Amino acid sequence: MLIVDRRSEALDFERTVIIGVGGGAGRITDLLGQNWIGGPTVGLVDSDSAALAKCGATAKLQVGRQVTRGSGTGGDAQVGRQALQEDEELLQGLIEGRDLVILVVCLGGGLGTGAAPRIMERIRESGAVSLCFATLPFGFEGAHRAAMAKAGLRALHSLADAMIVMPNDRLVEKLGDKAGLPTAFQESDRLITGGVRTLCTMSASRGSVVLDFGDLRKLVQQSTGTCSFGYGEGMGPDRVAAALNDIQSCPLLLNDSVLADAQSITVGLMVGPDTTLVQTTEFMDAFSKSLNSRAHLAVGLATDPRWEDQFSVVVLAAESWGAGGADPYQEEFALDGAASAQLQSQPKRRKRKARSTQTKLRLDVTGKGRFKNVEPTVLDGEDIDIPTFVRRGIVIER
């Protein structure tokens, strides 16, 4: 286990951007934009002009004015794709020159499902590390919305460097039967905003490098590219114990049962200057008891002066570690029918292939040069001055 403390008064968010796509992500970008003073650029891509006007994101991109006339997409992914295509070049200003781009999308809707894969493709083409937080709809939202979400997830999974998937149905167990819909969405938004902020702070802290872009790449390359995600936080004198209880009961980690089986676990801790090393060590000692003893574990600790009296932890857990691991979502998100057809229209991960500039070796005789006036050497009726492969019509393929 590696623990490195990166204490710094200054955080460099210049090369990091958070981009929300669609109405569901608007709630999250609104919270981040309004409550994170001095944080990275927070952008929202949406077709709904009214929703954009209300959002506290620091950068707002309205797409599809001609297609949607300033309203939503009506839950139609095809309209979502068309809306983005209309104004796709607007993305350049948000993405260009970034090292890390965090994409937030609530799958199942029209713009999020239809536009997010193409946005992720643009991020990939820019060379930035891409991290995608994607939520899946509640079961009561219907089979059609679920199928759209799964199709969007498969498309994003083939493009993103790292996928963090949050099935909203897992929140029901923690919130209980009496929790209303607003409470459920608030809890989902709390988990994502807290996780995004902690990961961004870890990446932006100057000094010793722990959870930087290379660590994200390594986590993805050695795992399946899909990570379970958990977030916990605590405030006040008992903040460490509260954060521990919060992460261990996180429904997205199935109340820590995911941790017991995970082969790779990355933990990011964000604390204030009033949190001691002893408190941090006590937290990790207690937290580690929930983990697979053979898991590949990396832990980073960042101190934010504005995080006084607070303690937060974000966990990324990969179910497999090492080449050849099976995709834990491959079976669960197998598609058929319309959803499969929709997926086929989404952009795929592209691999560069070497281009052949010559398919055949040019070995035909073009002339005899200085021997053009010399009598040929003929044997058994064949001019043996001509190479054998030419006489026999042999073509050498590359």
pLDDT tens digit sequence for 83-127: 999 999 999 999 999 988 999 999 999 999 999 999 999 999 999
pLDDT band for position 349 (cuts 50, 70, 90): very low
pLDDT at 217 over 90: no
Q: Mean pLDDT: which of 48-52, 160-164, 353-357 is highest?
A: 48-52
Buried b or exposed e, range 253-283, using 16+ CB within 10 angstroms: bebbebbeebbbbbbbbbbbeebeeeebeeb
User: For the CA atoms of the chain, what is the radius of gyration?
Assistant: 28
Partnered with residue 14 across adjacent β-strands are none
Between CA 277 and CA 397 the distance in angstroms is 67
Please compute the mean of the pLDDT values over residues 50-72 and round it to a whole number: 93
Please compute the mean of the pLDDT values over residues 339-347 and round it to a whole number: 46
What's the CA angle centered on 149, arms 143 and 155, to 5 degrees? 140
pLDDT tens digit sequence for 233-255: 999 999 999 999 999 888 888 76
pLDDT tens digit sequence for 190-206: 888 988 888 888 777 65
Please compute the mean of the pLDDT values over residues 314-325 and round it to a whole number: 67
pLDDT of residue 337: 43
Partnered with residue 4 across adjacent β-strands are 300
pLDDT of residue 140: 86
- Ramachandran angles phi, psi of 51, nearest 5°: -65, -40
The residue ranking higher by pLDDT, 386 or 159, is 159
pLDDT at 387 over 80: no
Query: How many percent of the chain have pLDDT more than 90?
Result: 38
pLDDT band for position 398 (cuts 50, 70, 90): very low
pLDDT at 352 over 70: no
Domain ranges within the chain, ordered by starting residue: 3-344, 356-398
The CATH superfamily label for domain 3-344 reads Tubulin/FtsZ, GTPase domain (3.40.50.1440)
For 302, residues 6+ apart whose C-beta sits below 8 A from its C-beta are 5, 6, 7, 8, 201, 202, 205, 268, 269, 270, 271
Q: How many CA atoms lie within 13 A of 182 on its CB side?
A: 0
